[in-house]
């Protein structure tokens, strides 16, 4: 059995451009400037200022713009070869525990700073910008939270006030959604649940006070019927969420132990992405990598943007 890493697009730059075009443009090239799909041609033999051939270069004969498949994506204006991006994407998508910037630096032969930037760009590609509510049809959704690391500017002390707060919603046998919260309070928890869990779901939580206070169970539909069945149970009722958050916590302490609060949302997007595209749902490593690469469009991320606080 041949290794998947022997595929041409992991080794050859031209093959990498061809493969990315197949993933991003399944129905043919699309101009990132005007959206044209018809009058687009390939430009052969064009060289850059250093005399290197510009692979994958195309021209739109409607707006006269020249572009490659990298324009308008997280790969735009990157000096990292495209086949190296493929290697990095496969490493991150096939590793259960994630891949640190140091590991990308050692494995890919890039600088530590470049490894850090590659990781954050790919996590941004994995991030789902418009998430549909989960549950519905009587499906079971669990809610739970955990506390990770230490917030910048906070002294380590007893309790969890100095830690970063993470909340997850898991549909049993289905997807997970995770958020970074400023505070774990009843209004914040209730807002997340109401926006992201369909009304006709079964909701399980533990006995934390911010779940017990409030009235998540008797919200009414327009017909006056109860819209969400509320299940107040002990902590063991949230076994799926608890296990998932335990794994997230362990990986943040190990692989991503130096994560800053402003980047935590991207790490959570990575964990959610791998869980939502897991083997149990019939998604293998190669298919998972292709799904991640489809998410690169419209998410150009500069070095300055990657250091900005979460939205």
C-alpha 235/C-alpha 145 separation (Å) is: 11
| Mean pLDDT to the nearest integer, 79-95 | 96
Q: What does the pLDDT look like over 130-155, one tens digit per residue?
A: 888 999 888 888 888 888 877 877 77
Q: Which residue has the higher pLDDT, 89 or 262?
A: 89
Please report the pLDDT score of residue 113 as a whole number.
94
| Mean pLDDT to the nearest integer, 216-221 | 42
Q: Which residue has the higher pLDDT, 248 or 51?
A: 51
pTM comes to 0.85
| Mean pLDDT to the nearest integer, 178-196 | 90
8 A C-beta contact, residue 219 and residue 228: yes
8 A C-beta contact, residue 217 and residue 206: no
Please report the pLDDT score of residue 1 as a whole number.
67
Residue 248 banded pLDDT, cuts 50, 70, 90? confident
Strand order in the sheet with 40-42: 40-42, 58-60, 66-67
Q: What does the pLDDT look like over 205-215, one tens digit per residue?
A: 877 887 765 55
Please report the pLDDT score of residue 233 as a whole number.
42
Please report the pLDDT score of residue 214 as a whole number.
52
Mean pLDDT, the chain, rounded, equals: 84
Q: 140-271 falls under which CATH superfamily?
A: Ribonuclease H-like superfamily/Ribonuclease H (3.30.420.10)
Short-list 136, 207, 211, 147, CA closest to 182: 147
| Mean pLDDT to the nearest integer, 50-74 | 93
Give the DSSP H or E segment for 60. strand 58-60
Residue 259 banded pLDDT, cuts 50, 70, 90? confident
- 143: number of Cβ within 10 Å: 22
Q: What does the pLDDT look like over 104-130, one tens digit per residue?
A: 999 999 999 999 999 999 999 999 888
User: Which residues, other chains included, contact 37 with Cβ-Cβ below 8 Å and sequence gap of 6+?
Assistant: 27, 28, 29, 30, 31
Q: Phi and psi for 100 in degrees, rounded to 5?
A: -80, 165
C-alpha 236/C-alpha 244 separation (Å) is: 13
Please report the pLDDT score of residue 260 as a whole number.
72
Please report the pLDDT score of residue 258 as a whole number.
67
User: In the chain, which residue ranges form alpha helices assigned H by DSSP?
Assistant: 13-24, 82-94, 101-108, 112-126, 186-196, 209-212, 239-254, 264-276, 285-294, 303-306
Q: Phi and psi for 41 in degrees, rounded to 5?
A: -130, 160
CA angle in degrees (0–180, nearest 5) for 168-171-177: 35
């Amino acid at each position: 059995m041949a290794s998947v890493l022997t595929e041409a697009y992991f080794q050859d730059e031209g093959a990498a451009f061809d493969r990315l075009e197949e993933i991003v443009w399944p129905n043919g090239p699309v101009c990132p400037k005007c959206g044209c799909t018809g009058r687009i041609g390939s430009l052969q033999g064009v060289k850059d200022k250093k005399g290197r051939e510009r692979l994958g270069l195309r021209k739109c004969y409607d707006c006269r713009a020249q572009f490659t498949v990298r324009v308008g994506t997280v790969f735009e204006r990157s000096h990292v070869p495209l086949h190296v991006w493929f290697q990095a994407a496969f490493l991150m998508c096939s590793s259960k525990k994630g891949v640190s910037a140091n590991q990308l630096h050692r494995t890919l032969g890039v600088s530590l700073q470049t490894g850090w930037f590659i990781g954050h760009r790919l996590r941004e590609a994995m991030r789902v910008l418009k998430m549909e509510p989960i549950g519905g049809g009587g499906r079971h959704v669990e809610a739970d939270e955990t506390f990770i690391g230490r917030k910048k500017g906070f002294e380590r002390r007893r309790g969890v006030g100095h830690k970063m707060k993470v909340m997850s919603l898991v549909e049993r046998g289905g997807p997970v959604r995770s958020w970074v919260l400023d505070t774990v309070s009843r209004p914040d928890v209730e807002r997340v649940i109401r926006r992201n869990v369909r009304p006709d779901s079964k909701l399980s939580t533990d006995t934390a006070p911010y779940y017990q206070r409030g009235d998540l169970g008797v919200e009414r539909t327009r017909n006056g019927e109860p819209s969400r069945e509320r299940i107040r149970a002990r902590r063991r009722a949230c076994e799926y969420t608890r296990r998932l958050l335990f794994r997230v916590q362990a990986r943040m302490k190990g692989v991503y132990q130096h994560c800053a609060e402003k980047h935590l949302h991207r790490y959570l997007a990575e964990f959610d992405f791998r869980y939502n595209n897991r083997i149990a749902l019939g998604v293998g490593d190669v298919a998972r990598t292709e799904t991640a690469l489809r998410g690169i469009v419209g998410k150009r991320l500069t070095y300055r943007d990657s250091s900005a606080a979460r939205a």
